[in-house]
Amino acid sequence: MNILHVCSEFFPLLKTGGLADVMAALPAAQRRLTVDARILLPGFPNIINHVPSKQKVTDLHSFAGNITLYYAVYDTIPLYIIDAPNLYDRPGSPYHDQNKIAYNDNHIRFALLGFVACELAKGCDSFWKPDIVHAHDWHAGLSCAYLAANNYPAKCVFTIHNIAFPGMFSPHHLRELWLPDSFYNIDGLEFYGQISFLKAALYYANHSTTVSPTYAQEILNPRYSHGFDGLLQQRYHEHRFSGILNQVDENIWAPDKDPLITQPYSVRNLRDKIKNKQALQQELGLPLLQGSPLFTIVSRMSYQKGLDMVLEILPKMMDAGLQFVILGQGDPHLEHAFSQLAYKYPNNMRAIIGYTEPESHRFIAGADILMVPSRFEPCGLTQLYAQKYGTLPLVRRTGGLADTVTDCSLEAMATNQATGFVFNESTIHDLGNAIHRSLILWKTQRKWRQLQKSAMTKDFSWNTTAQSYISLYNEILHKG
């Protein structure tokens, strides 16, 4: 079976969020199960300049002009890379400039990704052709529309990694993208008077998924659907929508062999974890306080992540003598607010605005508690990483957080199933209670160690998820 994954990021070459981690891990896990999984990527500088031994596949004529398609292998994963420097060779992130303003030709930049996916399905590489095109998030959403416009030369699966980003553009761009005028209607790309790349994918895909079972159920509800509940409910009743849980790449996130942390450790020598806490405190210039837990957040800074609630509760935590460190970037208002609080509490708090992969490993290994108080969370990966590292997650019961963290209730503790602290509502009251419960458990280090061991031994390997997708592909192909 030949599978083409279509996406905009790939770890370690280019990462702005969890999508890159998934795209590095899922195709690799599928290849271990004898599926020929490959990835199509835009030729952003971090990708095209760091892949060795590229081979030219073909030149293509497109609405974006003439482009070249390359093939390469990176760490056992076959990649197709679109070389279009006028579209992709730019400073800033893949999606916006250095001032965080979205590029005004993003409709062209990411429609091209879908267009080339369809060309591969039509056989532009004479040596390989996908049976399934698996598109990820809105950036790849038009893959499904181009396949539909060409009578489906391959079947298509679409995965929502975050429905809050619908990929919206003016309808006058439709003809620019070489799509039929008839596609612009409610049964197609039209979404509240605009083109939505995500709507196109949900409408034209043979099957859509999202990255956790609970999130799949949540976005059937208007409260979480961002306007897509009607279409999603239709696809759900047609058995064309489901949730498949993301997992952890244990080749990268494993505390016993992690070269990015100060002191490797495992569930068998868990006491060595404290050396990472001390190293993080020293790195950030915090007192070497060991008598209370060190809280951390490693996150994109946004309202979705519930960080405004954390800002409200932090002064009480700081006044109680607790330590808190945050690593992330995003909303300038939140960046400024956390920086101001860190300035106010120099002995208790640090805010590192930005993100690097080594820092994220050091923060997660060095902390005792990882806070993920999201208002909604399609899956979340940091809480999975934290559990592998014995850093107990404190999360809201939503989406993938609900699917991956088991609260330390008496029953769960008695059966060694508990892995963290879970609260129900996006309120200061519920968040405060969860923090309070974590402090109570901290006082009984024997129980704390029990919780850590349960978290560290939980199975979050990609094999199960890879097999679930393969079963889905087979089902789609056998439908004819």
Region 77-89 average pLDDT: 97
Tell me the two tokens of residue 155.
């079947």
Find, among 159, 472, 126, 165, the residue nearest to 302 by Cα: 165
Domains of the chain: 2-247+462-478 (3.40.50.2000), 267-456 (3.40.50.2000)
Find, among 76, 4, 79, the residue nearest to 42 by Cα: 79
Tell me the two tokens of residue 182.
């008839």
Task: Give the long-range contacts of residues 67-75, CB within 8 A, separation 24 or more.
Answer: 67/112, 67/116, 69/116, 69/119, 69/120, 69/124, 69/125, 70/43, 71/125, 74/10, 74/13
pLDDT band at 131 (very low <50, low <70, confident <90, very high): very high
Binding residues: 15
438-456 pLDDT, tens digit each: 999 999 999 999 999 999 9
Task: Count Cβ atoms below 10 Å from residue 176 Cβ, excluding itself.
Answer: 14
Do 363 and 325 contact (CB within 8 A), yes or no? Answer: yes
Residue 480 has pLDDT above 80, yes or no: no
Model-level pTM? 0.94
pLDDT band at 98 (very low <50, low <70, confident <90, very high): confident
pLDDT at 479: 85
346-391 pLDDT, tens digit each: 999 999 999 999 999 999 999 999 999 999 999 999 999 999 999 9
- What are the angstrom distances between the C-alpha of 153 and each of 129, 150, 235? 10, 7, 22
- What are the angstrom distances between the C-alpha of 230 and each of 107, 108, 112, 186? 25, 28, 28, 11
pLDDT at 130: 98
312-336 pLDDT, tens digit each: 999 999 999 999 999 999 999 999 9
Region 452-468 average pLDDT: 95
Binding residues for ADP-alpha-D-glucose: 15
256-279 pLDDT, tens digit each: 999 999 999 999 999 999 999 999
Separation between Cα atoms, residue 73 and residue 48, nearest integer Å: 12
Find, among 193, 194, 204, 195, the residue nearest to 231 by Cα: 204
pLDDT over 90 percentage in the chain: 96
Phi, psi for residue 47 in degrees, rounded to 5? -90, -60
